[in-house]
Amino acid sequence: MIRRTIAVLVVVASTAPAGMLFAQERIGVRSAVLFESYSFDAGLPFTKVSQLTIPIGIDVDFGRLGKLTISTGFVSTNLTSADRTQIVLADQTISSTLDTEFRFNYNLVPGKLILIANGALPTGTGAVVQQELSLLGAISSDVIGFSSSDIGSGGEVGGGFAAAFPVGRFAIGVGGTFTQPISYTPVTGDPDKLSPGSEFRLRTGFEGPLTRTTYIRFAGIFAARAKDEVGSQTQNGVGGRFIGYLSLNHGIGSHSITVYGFDVFRSGPRIEPTAVGAAVLPRGNLYAVGGRVDLAFSAFSRKFHLIPRFEVRRSFQALDANTTDLERTGSSVRFGSNLLMNVSRSTVLVLEVSGITGSVVLPAVPDDIHFDGYRTGVRLEWRP
C-alpha cells in the first residue's frame, strides 16, 4: 500500500503542465505522528480504542498561477473487545494508508477569484469485513473527534470557486463546490455497492478587525447531497447540513486569546459512506465551544509559542431515521496544550498533548457510559 500511495503522488505531480512546474516558487512538506487512546466503562462492545496516525501533506506553490496541495498518510486503529471470548466482537486492528486527496487552486483573478479542482484517489481501505464495522463505527464518534475518522472510500472528483472582496475594513468571502463520489463496495463479500450522492456546498463568511486589537471571523456552510444508493436501491434523502463557525481573537502585546464556537446540524438522515459502511445516520446536531491562549516567548535563541487550549462538545441525534426529536448522545471536554518552536527560518516543530473526559449515551443503557483518553503528537512543517 505504501508503494501504491507513492506511485499516485508521482502520477499526480507528472500531470501538471510543464509550464506550471517551471513556474513553481517553492514546495512545502507537512507531516506528523499522532497517537491517541480512549478507555470506556462497561456498556459498549469494546473497552478501549487506540489510533496511530501519520498524515503527510505536500504543497506546491506556483506563485501567481496557483497552488497544488496533496495529502495522504497512514493510520492504524486497534479496538479491545469487552468480551474476548466472542468471535464477532474479538479484538480488532486495521492498518492502512489513507485516501490520497488533491486540490489545485487556480488564481483566475489573483487575490479575488480562485477556481478549484479537487478529488481523492482510493489509496486507502474502502472495503472491510463484517466484523470490522464495530471498529469503524467507534472511530466515527463526533464527541471524541478522532484524528482519522475513516480509512478509505471509492474516491471522488469535484471542483468549484472561491471569491473575496473588501467591504470597509472587513473582507467578505463566498464560494461553492461540487463533489461526485465514486461507487465502491464497503463490505467484503457483500455484493451491494454503495453509491454516495453528489454533493453541493455553498460557503460564505467574513473577517476583519472589530477594534485595533480584536479580530472577528465568521463562516457558514450549507451542504446538500443527492440521494444515496445501496445495491441500486435509493435510500433516504440526506436533507441539508448547516455548519456555522464564529471566533474572536484579542491581542495582548505579543500574546493573544481566542474563543470560538461551531455548530453542525444535519436536518435529515444520511448514509455514512466511509465509517460504518451502509449504516444510516439519523437527523443530528453537534456543537462545540472552546478557546486557546497563545503565549509567545524566546528561549535558547529560539522563538516559542505555548498554546493552552480547551474544547467542550455536545452531540444530539434522533433515535432513528423516522423521528425528528433529538436526544443527547454524548458530551466531552478536551484540554491540553501545544508547544510551537521555530527550529529554523523554514522549519516549525509542534509538540501536542491533550486529555479528554466525557460520556456517551445509548438508548438501551440506562446510565451514561463514561470514557477518558489522551492524544500526543509531534508535527513538523518545512517551508523553504
Question: What is the 3 state secondary structure string of 66-85?
Answer: EEEEEEEEEEEEEEEECCCC
Whether residue 25 is predicted with pLDDT greater than 70 in this model: the reply is no
**Helix/strand/coil percent split, the chain, to 5:** 10, 60, 30
Neighbours of 331 (CB within 10 A): 18
Q: How does pLDDT run across 232-285, given as a tens digit for each residue?
A: 666 655 568 899 999 999 999 999 999 999 999 988 765 454 333 344 567 889
Residue 54: which residues within 8 A CB-CB, separation 6 or more?
31, 32, 33, 34, 73, 74, 75
Q: What is the pLDDT of residue 306?
A: 97
* Number of residues that make up the chain: 384
Of the chain, the percentage scoring pLDDT greater than 70 comes to 83
**More confident of the two residues 108 and 197:** 108
Cell numbers standing for residue 218: 465568521
Residue 294: which residues within 8 A CB-CB, separation 6 or more?
255, 256, 257, 258, 305, 306, 307
237-244 long-range Cβ contacts below 8 angstroms, 24+ apart: 237/268, 237/269, 238/197, 238/266, 238/268, 238/269, 238/270, 238/271, 239/266, 239/267, 239/268, 239/269, 239/270, 239/283, 240/267, 240/268, 241/265, 241/266, 241/267, 242/267, 243/219, 244/218, 244/219, 244/220
Query: Position 264: which residue type?
Result: V
Q: What is the pLDDT of residue 118?
A: 96
**More confident of the two residues 384 and 133:** 384
Q: What is the pLDDT of residue 305?
A: 96
Q: How does pLDDT run across 300-316, given as a tens digit for each residue?
A: 878 999 999 999 999 99
**More confident of the two residues 351 and 45:** 351
Q: How does pLDDT run across 155-209, given as a tens digit for each residue?
A: 899 999 999 999 999 999 999 999 999 887 777 766 677 778 889 999 999 999 9
**More confident of the two residues 70 and 140:** 70
Cell 506563485 belongs to 63
Average pLDDT value for residue range 84-106:
82
Q: What is the pLDDT of residue 12?
A: 37
Average pLDDT value for residue range 59-75:
93
Q: What is the pLDDT of residue 170?
A: 94
CATH topology of domain 2-382: Porin (2.40.160)
Q: What is the pLDDT of residue 65?
A: 92
Q: What is the pLDDT of residue 8?
A: 35
Average pLDDT value for residue range 290-297:
96
Q: What is the pLDDT of residue 270?
A: 58
Cell 477556481 belongs to 115
**Inter-residue contact 224 to 165 (CB < 8 Å):** no
Whether residue 1 is predicted with pLDDT greater than 60 in this model: the reply is no
Strand partners, 360: 330, 369
Q: What is the pLDDT of residue 31?
A: 96
Q: What's the burial of 203, exposed, middle or buried (CB within 10 Å: 0-12/13-18/19+)?
A: middle
Whether residue 24 is predicted with pLDDT greater than 50 in this model: the reply is no
Q: What is the pLDDT of residue 238?
A: 57
Q: What is the pLDDT of residue 86?
A: 59
Q: What is the pLDDT of residue 132?
A: 66
**Inter-residue contact 223 to 240 (CB < 8 Å):** yes
**What does the mean pLDDT of the chain come to?**
84
SS3 call for 20: helix
